[in-house]
Amino acid sequence: MNLVFSGYFPGVIGKVVELHAVYYHQHWGFDVSFETQVGRELSDFMAEFRQGRDFLSAALVDGAFAGAIAIDGKSASTEGARLRWFIVSPRFQGLGVGKALISQAVDFCRVAGFSRIFLWTFRGLDAARRLYEQKGFVLTEEHEVSQWATIIWEQRFDLIPE
Low-confidence residues in the chain, pLDDT < 70: 146, 149, 152, 161-162
pTM: 0.93
Tens-digit pLDDT profile for residues 137-159: 998 978 777 677 677 688 899 99
Q: What are the structural domains of the chain?
A: 3-115 (3.40.630.30)
Provide long-range contacts, Cβ within 8 A and 24+ apart, for 133-139.
134/99, 135/102, 135/103, 135/106, 135/159, 136/160
